[in-house]
């Protein structure tokens, strides 16, 4: 009997971890990892941080090289993206016209940067791929002024990296008056706005963009910002177009059940998956590294053990590195939730904000420059501990750290 084949489409963190997890689960069939880029699979978070800064090389961010792939029995099919799916025939169509047969299929095609609605010109960048980051790094060699449109995590990280590279004039623009106030309560979000100002970045919050032209960015208040380089960081869109018409449900991502199953023998994971989160009782899509890793492990388990599938019910976790600050978010956080601030040993730069759900239970935490508090919060969320208990545990940590 021939060995079964699992085809994984998308060769970044989710796809690579799924391949490795299949082997860890004892899968002994063929594993084919399909990627549309020719480069070896690489990791995305450094693209706005150490890789953009030139401190991490392509080798440093490689997730799987040829040797590791061979050792794990993973066939790499790179530079040959998937263009279509024939569910009935169990075949994936590739850009070169060939078709790959599968017994199980894993969709891990992630997301791409939302393109600039103001058109492109040389000097206008998005950052989603290594090539994007290299092109931006090259333009930053010319110095400023740099204008970043969008003060979400990626935009804020690029502002921090550019400042560290010595770019003198960096401006961060966002139409929202207090960026990140959806995921942080306004007081904490304002603290991050202040952090940029302290590090020399000009912030123009509460002002939209009307256009980008050869020398700058025009704003809704009638002003214009000179820019040699512009970064448009306004979010991402899932890479799901190639699956339209395949028979799978596509709705801002590949729609899946609680087991990350899009149909029989087809699973999706990472940024492209919109799955039913059992604890939230609704479909969610997460654009976070840790989710891709955890969902990959879950999908591999479900392929190898179809009789005992595991629901994917993660505690959300995302981090962001800006300047010398580390920001960690776990669980549900945000402006509409009641919250309590726990100062850290150095309260000006280290603190935890704990959020309560409607019943007063512990919903989530934003922890700044205080990894031990973040660990307590994440463990407490996994164990569904009470808010008071988590607060007491983190306060005890402060007392202990102050004594040392």
Ligand X SMILES: Cc1cc2nc3c(=O)[nH]c(=O)nc-3n(C[C@H](O)[C@H](O)[C@H](O)COP(=O)(O)OP(=O)(O)OC[C@H]3O[C@@H](n4cnc5c(N)ncnc54)[C@H](O)[C@@H]3O)c2cc1C
> Which residues here bind ligand X, judged by CB under 6 A?
9-15, 34-37, 44-45, 47-48, 81-82, 108-111, 127-128, 154, 239, 242, 270-271, 287-290, 292, 318-320
Q: Where are the beta strands (DSSP E) in 23-150?
A: 30-34, 74-77, 82-86, 91-94, 99-101, 104-107, 111-113, 124-125, 146-149
Nearer to ligand X among residue 125 and residue 204 (C-beta) = 125
First CA to last CA distance, the chain: 64
Nearer to ligand X among residue 64 and residue 352 (C-beta) = 64
Distance, in Å, from the CA atom of 99 to the CA atom of 123, rounded to the nearest integer, reads 38
Distance, in Å, from the CA atom of 384 to the CA atom of 313, rounded to the nearest integer, reads 13
The least CB distance from residue 348 to ligand X, in Å, is 23
The least CB distance from residue 262 to ligand X, in Å, is 14
The least CB distance from residue 360 to ligand X, in Å, is 28
Distance, in Å, from the CA atom of 198 to the CA atom of 211, rounded to the nearest integer, reads 28
The secondary element (H helix, E strand) that includes residue 58 is helix 58-61
Q: Could you tell me which residues are beta bridge partners of residue 346? A: none
- The sign one gets for the Cα dihedral 252, 49, 77, 74 is negative
The least CB distance from residue 375 to ligand X, in Å, is 16
Question: 178 — phi, psi (to 5°)?
Answer: -125, 90
Nearer to ligand X among residue 27 and residue 242 (C-beta) = 242
The least CB distance from residue 115 to ligand X, in Å, is 14
DSSP state of 43: -
Nearer to ligand X among residue 36 and residue 294 (C-beta) = 36
| C-alpha to C-alpha distances, 88 to 21, 245, 264, 265, 303, nearest whole angstrom | 27, 12, 11, 11, 19
Nearer to ligand X among residue 174 and residue 287 (C-beta) = 287
The least CB distance from residue 256 to ligand X, in Å, is 13
Nearer to ligand X among residue 45 and residue 123 (C-beta) = 45
Strands 124-125 and 146-149: unpaired
The least CB distance from residue 335 to ligand X, in Å, is 21
Instruction: Beginning with the edge strand found earlier in the chain, give each strand of the sheet holding 273-277 in spatial order.
Output: 254-256, 273-277, 282-284
SS3 of 8, please? strand
The secondary element (H helix, E strand) that includes residue 164 is helix 153-164
Distance, in Å, from the CA atom of 46 to the CA atom of 35, rounded to the nearest integer, reads 19
The least CB distance from residue 100 to ligand X, in Å, is 11
Nearer to ligand X among residue 299 and residue 397 (C-beta) = 299
The least CB distance from residue 330 to ligand X, in Å, is 11
Nearer to ligand X among residue 48 and residue 391 (C-beta) = 48
Query: Contact at 8 Å (CB) between 203 and 192?
Result: no
Q: Which residue has tokens 């492109």?
A: 120
Nearer to ligand X among residue 104 and residue 271 (C-beta) = 271
Nearer to ligand X among residue 56 and residue 340 (C-beta) = 56
Nearer to ligand X among residue 18 and residue 207 (C-beta) = 18
Q: Which residues contact 246 (CB under 8 A, 6 or more apart)?
A: 84, 85, 86, 87
Q: Which residues contact 280 (CB under 8 A, 6 or more apart)?
A: none
Output the CA angle 110-307-254, nearest 5 degrees: 20
The least CB distance from residue 213 to ligand X, in Å, is 26
The least CB distance from residue 377 to ligand X, in Å, is 16
């Amino acid at each position: 009997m021939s060995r079964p084949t699992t085809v994984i489409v998308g060769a970044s963190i989710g796809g690579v971890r799924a391949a490795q997890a299949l082997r860890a689960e004892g899968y002994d069939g063929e594993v084919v990892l399909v990627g549309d880029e020719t480069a070896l699979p690489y990791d995305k978070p450094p693209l706005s941080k150490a890789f953009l800064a030139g401190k991490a090389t392509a080798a440093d961010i490689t997730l799987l090289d040829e040797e590791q792939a061979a050792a794990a029995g993973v066939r790499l099919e790179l530079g040959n993206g998937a263009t279509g799916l024939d569910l009935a025939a169990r075949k994936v169509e590739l850009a070169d016209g060939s078709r790959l047969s599968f017994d199980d299929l894993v969709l891990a095609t992630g997301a791409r940067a939302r393109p600039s609605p103001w058109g492109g010109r040389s000097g206008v960048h998005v950052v989603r791929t290594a090539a994007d980051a290299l092109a931006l790094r090259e333009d930053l060699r010319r110095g400023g002024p740099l204008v970043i449109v969008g003060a979400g995590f990626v935009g804020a990280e690029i502002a921090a990296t550019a400042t560290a590279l010595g770019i003198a004039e960096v401006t961060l623009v966002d139409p929202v008056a207090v960026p990140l106030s959806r995921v942080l309560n306004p007081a904490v979000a304002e603290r991050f706005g202040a952090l940029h100002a302290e590090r020399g970045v000009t912030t123009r919050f509460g002002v939209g963009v009307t256009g980008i032209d050869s020398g700058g960015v025009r704003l809704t208040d009638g002003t214009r910002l000179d820019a040699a380089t512009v970064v448009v960081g306004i979010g991402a869109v899932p890479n799901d177009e190639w699956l339209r018409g395949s028979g799978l449900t596509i709705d801002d991502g590949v729609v899946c059940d609680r087991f990350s199953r899009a149909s029989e023998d087809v699973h999706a994971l990472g940024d492209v998956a919109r799955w039913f989160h059992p604890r939230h009782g609704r479909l969610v899509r997460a654009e976070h590294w840790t989710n891709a890793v955890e969902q990959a492990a879950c999908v591999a388990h479900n392929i190898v053990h179809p009789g005992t599938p595991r629901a994917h019910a993660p505690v959300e976790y995302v981090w962001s590195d800006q300047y010398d600050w580390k920001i960690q978010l776990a669980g549900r956080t945000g402006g509409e939730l009641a919250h309590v601030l726990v100062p850290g040993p150095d309260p000006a730069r280290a603190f935890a904000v704990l959020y309560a759900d409607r019943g007063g239970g512990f919903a989530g935490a934003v922890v700044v420059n205080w990894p031990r508090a973040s660990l307590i919060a994440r463990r407490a969320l996994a164990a569904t501990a009470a808010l008071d208990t988590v607060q007491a545990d983190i306060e005890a940590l402060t007392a202990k750290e102050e004594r040392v």
